[in-house]
Amino acid sequence: MSNAIYYVSYPLKKEASIPDFLLAAEALNNEFISKQKGYVSWQQFRDGDIWADAITFKTMDDLKNFKAVSKNPSELAKKFYSFMNLSPKLCKSHIFSVERSY
């Protein structure tokens, strides 16, 4: 089986503090995401005002289980989300299977 990646791109809210946002992401990763079955890694990217998260899991089932558990966000998740502009026009998400790596 190939790895699965949950990819989300979004802008931060205008008033968001980037250092505080990164601390919230680190806390969420350390206390919740990294403890999920099949977790491999979480990378955060930035291109100007657009941020993107790529969370890798060992299998698609692991990713789907993570998404199901995440439907009821914890306080750590709510804190992380509070920095993001989650407008459907600006926030895009995809689930990818890794077909090939070089």
Confidence at residue 39, expressed as pLDDT on a 0 to 100 scale: 98
What are the tens digits of pLDDT across the range 39-53?
999 999 999 999 999
Question: What percent of the chain is predicted at pLDDT more than 90?
Answer: 95
CA-CA distances (angstroms) from residue 88 to 42, 85, 93? 22, 9, 10
CB 50 within 8 A of CB 10: yes
15 assigned to some structural domain: yes
For range 61-65, the mean pLDDT: 97
> For the chain, how many structural domains are there in total?
1
Predicted structure pTM score: 0.93
- Higher-pLDDT residue of 2, 61: 61
Residue 102 lies in a domain: no
Q: Whole domain around residue 40: which residue ranges?
A: 4-97
Does position 20 have pLDDT exceeding 80, yes or no?
Answer: yes
Contacts of 3 (CB under 8 A, 6+ apart): 40, 56, 57, 58, 59, 97, 98
Answer whether residue 61 is part of any domain: yes
The answer to the question of residue 43 being in a domain is yes
Q: Return d(Cα 83, Cα 96) in angstroms, integer.
A: 25
- The CATH number assigned to the domain holding 36 equals 3.30.70.100
